[in-house]
């Protein structure tokens, strides 16, 4: 099957193979997508993020053609389900949402979440955090009132998007928050104007590779926008070296460039991702 109309051509041979395999045998292919910045536009208040217009509808049309689909996100799984509107959607009856970088798992088929016990370091960090932030020299102004995202007690994210100098605040907080995380056995996951303190031992690459293995798929499309997605990109690159076919899609932004350099296809943010998903769905439906 040639590429359907409105499906952009990947710039790499491996990406073109991945796309061709997905179109030829969608029943052997899986699609995995990041949430913030990929399926949802970046907004100043994390609680106000929502799936981009048409995202859920496009997924609802595409996913029934596929072996499986997943959202892999740094958000708690239930938060992504709520903000994305992924529950009880026709076509998404078997969607999987892997939250907290893969540590949590929500299944649309049952509505249940599996999660490990919270890491004790998170509570300890929560207690020490005000002192560390006060000592940073940037922790003042109205932005601080909404900058801490508690993430269900399983991680803590400090957002600088609403600071007067977002990048400056990010840089100034990075070292003290890294030291704080390390004191309590956590790691710092840097993202788009966010520093997240979270338990080690899981990342989107491990989560994606395990899930692909579980589905038995031979082709994967992965789309992401942020540094946390690099592990998933690396996992797809490794699986490709072992014979799997795959298409790496970057949801492009001017905040993060690292993924664009490694992607087979760069699209214009969540709008471009939704257009791609919709065009794939249309192509597979009309085939």
Question: Binding ligand L263DTV3 by CB under 6 A: which of 46, 84, 102, 272?
Answer: 46
The helix (run of H) or strand (run of E) holding residue 26 is: none
256 belongs to the binding site for ligand L263DTV3 (CB under 6 A): no
Q: Is 85 left (phi over 0), alpha (psi -120 to 50) or beta?
A: left
Site string for ligand L263DTV3, 70-99 (x = CB under 6 A): ---xxx------------------------
**Residue 43: CB atoms within 10 Å:** 12
Which span (5-13, 133-141, 180-188, 192-200) binds ligand L263DTV3, by CB under 6 A? 192-200
196 belongs to the binding site for ligand L263DTV3 (CB under 6 A): yes
CA distances from 154 to 76, 198, 234, 246 (A): 8, 7, 25, 32
- Distance of closest approach, residue 196 Cβ to ligand L263DTV3, in angstroms: 5
43 belongs to the binding site for ligand L263DTV3 (CB under 6 A): yes
Nearer to ligand L263DTV3, 35 or 139 (CB): 35
119 belongs to the binding site for ligand L263DTV3 (CB under 6 A): no
Contact 210, 98 (CB under 8 A): no
Q: Is 8 exposed, middle or buried (0-12, 13-18, 19+ CB in 10 A)?
A: middle
Pairing of strands 219-224, 245-251: parallel
Question: Binding ligand L263DTV3 by CB under 6 A: which of 67, 105, 119, 159?
Answer: 159
34 belongs to the binding site for ligand L263DTV3 (CB under 6 A): yes
161 belongs to the binding site for ligand L263DTV3 (CB under 6 A): yes
With CB atoms as reference, the residue minimizing the distance to ligand L263DTV3 is 74
Nearer to ligand L263DTV3, 21 or 194 (CB): 194
| Among 278, 276, 273, 282, CA closest to 39 | 273
Question: Binding ligand L263DTV3 by CB under 6 A: which of 22, 147, 157, 244?
Answer: 157
| Number of amino acids touching ligand L263DTV3 (CB under 6 A) | 23
HEC profile of 193-254:
CEEEEECCCCCHHHHHHHHHHHHCCCEEEEEECCHHHHHHHHHHHHHHHCCCEEEEEEECCC
Q: Is 76 exposed, middle or buried (0-12, 13-18, 19+ CB in 10 A)?
A: buried
Would you tell me which residues interact with ligand L263DTV3 (CB under 6 A)? 34-37, 42-44, 46, 49, 73-75, 149, 157, 159, 161, 191-194, 196, 226, 228
């Amino acid at each position: 099957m040639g590429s359907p109309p409105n499906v952009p051509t990947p710039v790499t041979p491996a990406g073109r193979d991945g796309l061709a395999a997905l179109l030829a045998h969608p029943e052997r292919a899986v699609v995995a997508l990041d949430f913030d910045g990929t399926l949802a536009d970046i907004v100043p208040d994390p609680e106000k993020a929502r799936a981009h217009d048409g995202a859920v509808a496009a997924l609802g049309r595409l996913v029934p053609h596929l072996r499986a689909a997943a959202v892999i996100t740094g958000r708690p799984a239930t938060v992504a389900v709520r903000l994305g509107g992924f529950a009880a959607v026709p076509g998404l009856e078997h969607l999987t949402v892997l939250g907290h970088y893969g540590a949590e798992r929500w299944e649309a088929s049952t509505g249940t979440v599996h999660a490990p016990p919270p890491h004790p370091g998170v509570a300890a960090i929560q207690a020490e955090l005000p002192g560390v932030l006060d000592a940073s020299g940037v922790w003042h102004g109205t932005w601080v009132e909404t900058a801490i995202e508690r993430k269900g007690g399983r991680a803590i994210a400090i957002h600088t998007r609403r600071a007067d100098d977002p990048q400056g605040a990010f840089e100034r907080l990075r070292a003290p928050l890294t030291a704080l995380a390390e004191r309590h056995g956590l790691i710092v996951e840097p993202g788009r104007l966010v520093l997240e303190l979270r338990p080690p031992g899981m990342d989107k690459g491990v989560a994606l590779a395990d899930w692909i293995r579980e589905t038995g798929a031979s082709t994967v499309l992965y789309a992401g926008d942020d540094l946390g997605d690099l592990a998933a990109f690396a996992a797809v690159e490794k699986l490709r070296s072992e014979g799997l076919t795959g298409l790496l899609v970057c949801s492009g932004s001017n905040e993060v460039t690292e993924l664009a350099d490694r992607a087979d296809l760069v699209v214009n943010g969540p709008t471009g991702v939704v257009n791609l998903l919709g065009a794939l769905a249309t192509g597979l439906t009309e085939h």
